Every structure is written in C-alpha cells, then in structure tokens.
C-alpha cells in the first residue's frame, strides 16, 4: 500500500507513539496496517450505512476494535474479556475511544447488528477490497466444516440433525462454508 510509509511517519511524529510505547511493537504495527487497510476499503462507511445505530460509540469503531482483538490475539478472547484486552492495547488511542466504552455489552449489541446485516453489506466490502487490492479471482477454493452440539438446542435456528462428518449422527450440528481466493486465501463468501 502506498500510504503505509506516510501512515508510519505520521505515527512516529504523533503523541500516539508516546502513549503506546509500552505496548508490543508488533501489535502496534499490525494495528496501524489493519486500520489503514480498513480505511482504504471504506470499512467505516459501509458498516455504518448497513448497521449504524444510536450508540455512543459507532458500530464501525466497535467492530474495528474487535477485528484488532482477533487479529492481534494468538488465542480467541472471550467477549467477556474484550474490554480488558482493549485496555492493554493501542486500540483506544488509535480509534480515539476510551477502553471502558469498548465493553462486552456494546460489542454484543454490535455483533448482533452485524450478524443480521444482509449479505449485500459483505459483498460491498469484498467489492471495495477487490477494487483497491485487485484480488486474483482466477480460482476460488471452497471449504466446509461442521460443529456438533450435545444437548437439546430446541430454540436454535441453525443447529439441526443431518449427515455428520464427525461421526456424531445423534448430535445436532451447524455446517459452515467459506470461499477464499486461490493465491492469498482472502475470504470472499
């Protein structure tokens, strides 16, 4: 990306660098690159148009913070520990949002909104990504996986009995599928 060097220069000259000096440098680099990528594909505009609400902190900022958390954590961070993770990261300074405002309750509401967003939102993000980064779509790889559940799960809209790859025909399951670009494994659908 052409603007990474300018982003890095701006970072080095900012008060932000002094505020996060005790945070691991690799995580800071990851977060700077990730924020730049999200900016370049119009992430905030797309998320707000499809999922915006009247929350004090915008849905797109909360979702970006969650993406930083998932991207910079070797192990998944439970939603209940999201605020704790954020408070130990450069995300509050990067997004201009106090860590206390990026809590599990706001994250839960945003994830519900994003989960109900139409597929058109994701297609718009992918189209923007393709336009900016010229993804090679010569071939696409599809992979499926199944998660099985023990117990009733009577109210689940997704868990159902069916053919079980895991050899658990007596358990309900959810099947998921992903399509990625062949060369770089960029998720498409």
| Predicted model pTM | 0.69
**Beta strands at 172-181 and 140-149: parallel, antiparallel or unpaired:** antiparallel
Residue closest to 178 by CA, chosen among 146, 142, 147, 145: 142
Report how far residue 11's alpha carbon sits from residue 92's, in angstroms, rounded to the nearest whole number. Answer: 15
Closest CA to 173 of 134, 143, 131, 144: 144
Q: pLDDT (tens digit, 0 to 9) for every residue of the chain, 189 residues total?
A: 455 555 555 555 555 555 554 555 556 778 888 999 999 999 999 999 999 999 999 999 999 999 999 988 878 889 999 999 999 888 999 999 999 999 999 999 999 999 999 989 999 998 999 899 888 878 888 888 888 887 777 787 778 887 777 787 888 888 888 888 877 777 777
Residue 131 tokens read as 């336009």
Strands in the chain per DSSP E: 140-149, 172-181
């Amino acid at each position: 990306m052409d603007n990474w060097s300018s982003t890095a220069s701006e970072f080095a000259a900012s008060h932000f660098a002094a505020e996060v000096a005790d945070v691991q440098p690799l995580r800071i680099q990851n977060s700077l690159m990730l924020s730049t990528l999200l900016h370049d594909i119009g992430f905030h505009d797309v998320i707000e148009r499809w999922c915006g609400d009247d929350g004090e902190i915008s849905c797109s900022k909360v979702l970006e913070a969650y993406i930083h958390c998932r991207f910079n954590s070797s192990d998944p961070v439970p939603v209940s520990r999201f605020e704790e993770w954020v408070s130990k990261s450069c995300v509050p300074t990067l997004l201009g949002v106090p860590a206390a405002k990026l809590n599990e309750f706001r994250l839960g509401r945003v994830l519900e909104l994003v989960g109900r967003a139409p597929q058109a939102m994701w297609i718009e993000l992918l189209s923007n990504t393709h336009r900016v980064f010229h993804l090679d779509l010569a071939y696409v790889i599809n992979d499926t996986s199944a998660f099985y559940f023990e117990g009733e799960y009577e109210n689940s809209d997704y868990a159902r009995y069916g053919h079980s790859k895991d050899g658990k025909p007596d358990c309900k399951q959810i099947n998921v599928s992903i399509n990625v670009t062949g060369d770089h494994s960029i998720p498409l659908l």
